[in-house]
Chains A and B, each alone.
Chain A
């Protein structure tokens, strides 16, 4: 009831913010008409001032509207997803770091829980955003601190040409899994409104083979989830833009046990209610602009099992202001100020816990010569009245050839992660004396892309190498002489280094549109400090961190048919820090075949997906079964009307 009250007050605040709810959605998300006419657009951002940024556009996301974020990242990036099963907990980590070093933002709101410091990607549906931008390593400092691996930035963008776009889609999948999506996107050249609704449910009782070779149906894995989003974008007198976005999500799920638990009465379940609201104002003038943004996030979680019943409630209020000034030749300055406040109410804390974070931010982009650009980001945080070490990164980009899209980049970084609320305040175990984790990193890279003169062939390649040194890493370890209590301590050191390579080709030939996207990652991430006498993990690979990861996508489109083949290779993952046991590597293949039919403004789309095509009997995490071959059928109807330009 406290919850309901909080929602009402938040919705009230939102209405005060923005008046009547009307908004926008990019047509590309909902209009399959445009799928065949794929844009020649690079994924790897070329003008990057030394930082690696990778974009996944709406064309890539379109056939995956019924999926969650973990699916997309597994298929199109080398971010490693620790998946505990179909539609259950999935956490991301990249560049040899952990899930707590990966931040996920949606339209400027950090989705990571301030309590846990991480996010469950199974709760973020692709339908909630239009584009993904992956900011690797140092690039993430532009948005937030603590993301040693990087930031996954999810954004929605308005399409001012849209007048009315209505879409309804229904997916029916194996194991009684269903996904419904409804979009209404309408507006004018000045105003766009997005209304989105999605509903997912599943019995999720997929069969798997147990150790004795018997077929067992995954018990206690059903779920229900829905999300409602309203977004409004308003351009006013050419210089002002106001947007407001609200996303309410509710999820109820049973949590399956590992295969070795044989207790039919043992039911774990989790309920999550989340509300996120953000109001943003931009003022744009020649030579300068201003952005201010204020958001509220309300996360409620209720976990229950026969022996534990825990409720956690966190509110976060975040404010961000950025001023951009570029009237001085070759120089752009972006000072900024962030302020956020967390309130956490949990039965596992003694009383209310709060945290106030003020962050002073400055970014300076300077064009040293037409070929060399540099960027300096400095961030200073004040947490609960205490100044943290200064963070910063310096990036340089060099484009040696005027006529070629080729860039060499380098950056160096100092970052830190402040402890999570659980690490500080968990009852009995929390350690309020924890220091922040620190990270020193460096990266070099190159990007090249080229389009043939007749524009029917495009390719791009990217290559980067990085190192990252994490010191004071927080690990939960047993308290000396009382091993029943575990306490987080700054005891670990990790050295991660790796190489990432990407190749992206698009080709139009004989009316066929062909696409070929590849990502490869090699990552060594090792323990550099031991904590006990007999500890044998020094120099060994971090658990659940694959050395090799590769994925590839081949797409073919013709006559409004489209075929997409996704291939993923996940290398061996060690399961013990001394590297004495491991989960073997595996290959996974998924296929999507679809057909669009256009009747005036109406588009009908039918799509068939086959997942785990070769019926691989695998586990990603030990003792957590994954489904074998499975299918999904999607029927989508959309109506689209654009302005006549």
Chain B
């Protein structure tokens, strides 16, 4: 049965079909990829010719969004350049940039969920090599000019040959290893315990690794989740333990004698008053800094934990903290809501007054300085 009659012809419809087809074919050939809004109204517009002198802000980016980036603030302090890796290499840095370590003229960016370490030349930030073969890498620390260690969320500590930039071996562990610090012929590495276990079953400790033998030779038990580590001017090792992401126990700050491999003193934070993080030390090695809402300052000789912040957060979400290794300036990042682009704030070491504020990328989590005190 026909609902319609054949009364006219098709031709009156043709112009609209043609117009419609034109509309469709006019699509662009550029790949559809995430794009920054240009001009970024909050971004200064400098042209840096080199990245050899300044501060790198490592923006983690959102897990599984592939939007990790590095922001560069040059030593003049006037300019912040966003996403310098993408600008130099025409590709995204990856997913979740955990940390960056400067060694000589090269930067080693640990990209956790991409499972890579991106090696760049500091001069132009061009990629030199992408090192593969990790198990969710976290932090990078050089042993000497030829060798470095990389901690992983799972399975092992990776050994990197710095000449060839490949994973040359592993030090087997069964746990999530986090920060590393080089002391004499040893590497001290914090170990949280097995990633997939609850905190009650996780064994928290510091591994003592012989850098000559690439072997764990000793361990020191600590509070749950030892994440941060520094060495002070008297060569004491300080370890900040969060107590567990689930507030399993009260957080603690412990002082360890690295020679005797023994805890000398433990400062326990009052329970239920926040979780301290991001332990740092000033260039002279006499003052500790950490985040616990605001920025806290504590002389290494202090008998107790500080009760008031040195810099209060004033409603900001302080997420990353670093102390300039030469001048002691305090760098703090504000992750805002973890989704929008964060900010970096710079404060004076002496009185904690705000010196500058910069735009950063998504979840600015850590910093790296070209003017490293070491090399």
Contact = CB atoms under 8 A, between A and B. Distances in A.
A352 interface: no
Given A534-B316, A623-B34, A480 B95 contact: no
B160 interface: no
Contacts of A587: 24, 27
Nearest to A259: B66
Contact of B66 (A533, A579, A582, A622): A622
A579 B32 contact: no
B115 A261 contact: yes
Interface string B178-213: 000000000000000001100000000000000000
Interface stretch (B7-15, B45-53, B138-146, B254-262): B7-15
Interface stretch (A23-31, A216-224, A353-361, A502-510): A502-510
Contact of A578 (B4, B8, B317, B341): B341
Contacts of A455: 3-5
A509 B34 contact: no
Interface in A549-579: 552, 554, 567, 575-579
Given A576-B340, A580-B340, A581-B35, A261 B95 contact: yes
B32 A619 contact: yes
B20 A554 contact: yes
Given A263-B115, A455-B4, A455-B5, A534 B336 contact: yes
A483 interface: yes
A575 B67 contact: yes
Contact of A483 (B4, B32, B116, B317): B317
A480 B337 CA distance: 11
Contact of A307 (B13, B153, B292, B293): B153
A39 B2 CA distance: 10
A483 B274 CA distance: 9
B274 A481 contact: yes
B270 to A, nearest CB: 12
B295 to A, nearest CB: 13
B72 interface: no
A510 B40 CA distance: 56
B274 to A, nearest CB: 3
A608 to B, nearest CB: 19
Contact of A512 (B10, B32, B293): B10
Nearest to B91: A211
Given A261-B113, A262-B115, A456 B5 contact: yes
Contacts of A552: 20
Interface in A426-476: 428, 454-457
Contacts of B196: 307-309
B13 A582 contact: no
Given A456-B4, A532-B317, A533-B316, A262 B114 contact: yes
Contact of A262 (B90, B116, B275): B116
Contacts of A261: 94-95, 113-115
B373 interface: no
Nearest to A475: B337
Nearest to A616: B27
Contacts of B36: 580-581
A581 B25 CA distance: 26
State the main secondary structure of chain A at its contact with B.
loop
B224 interface: no
Given A209-B31, A532-B315, A616-B27, A514 B340 contact: no
A482 B227 CA distance: 14
A477 B335 CA distance: 12
Interface string A261-286: 11100100000000000000000000
Contacts of A485: 245-246
Contacts of B314: 533
Q: Which of A263, A510, A589, A616 has the largest number of chain B CB atoms within 10 A?
A: A263
B234 interface: no
B301 interface: no
A577 B116 CA distance: 28
Contacts of B116: 262
Given A260-B66, A261-B115, A478 B317 contact: yes
B335 to A, nearest CB: 8
A508 B273 contact: no
Interface stretch (A119-127, A188-196, A232-240, A535-543): A535-543
A309 B195 CA distance: 12
A580 B32 CA distance: 16
B27 A509 contact: no
A614 interface: yes
A484 B245 contact: yes
Contact of B3 (A39, A483, A512): A39
B17 interface: yes
A580 B38 CA distance: 8
A18 interface: no
A27 to B, nearest CB: 15
Contacts of B6: 456, 508-511
Nearest to B176: A307
B3 A40 contact: yes
Contacts of B8: 509-510
Given A481-B292, A485-B245, A535 B114 contact: no
A558 to B, nearest CB: 10
A614 B23 CA distance: 13
A535 B336 contact: yes
Nearest to B134: A263
A548 B341 CA distance: 24
Interface in A584-628: 584, 586-587, 589, 614, 616-619, 622-623
Contacts of B292: 481
A510 B64 CA distance: 54
A611 B214 CA distance: 55
Nearest to A508: B4
Contacts of B115: 261-263, 266
Interface string A507-539: 111111110000000000000000111111100
Given A307-B153, A483-B319, A258 B4 contact: no
A580 B42 contact: yes
A212 interface: yes
Q: Which of B34, B315, B316 has the largest number of chain A CB atoms within 10 A?
A: B34
Interface in B340-374: 340-343, 362
Closest 4 CB pairs of A and B: A508-B4, A481-B274, A211-B91, A623-B66
Interface of B: 1-10, 13, 17, 20, 24-25, 27, 29-37, 40, 42, 64-68, 90-95, 111, 113-116, 130, 132, 136, 153-154, 195-196, 242, 245-247, 273-275, 277, 292-293, 313-317, 319, 334-343, 362
Given A306-B154, A575-B34, 9 more contacts: A481-B273, A481-B274, A481-B275, A513-B4, A534-B316, A536-B340, A582-B35, A614-B24, A622-B33
12 contacts: A307-B136, A454-B5, A456-B3, A456-B7, A480-B274, A483-B335, A507-B13, A508-B6, A532-B316, A532-B317, A584-B32, A617-B31
Interface of A: 37, 39-40, 209-212, 257-263, 266, 306-309, 428, 454-457, 477-478, 480-485, 507-514, 531-537, 543, 552, 554, 567, 575-584, 586-587, 589, 614, 616-619, 622-623
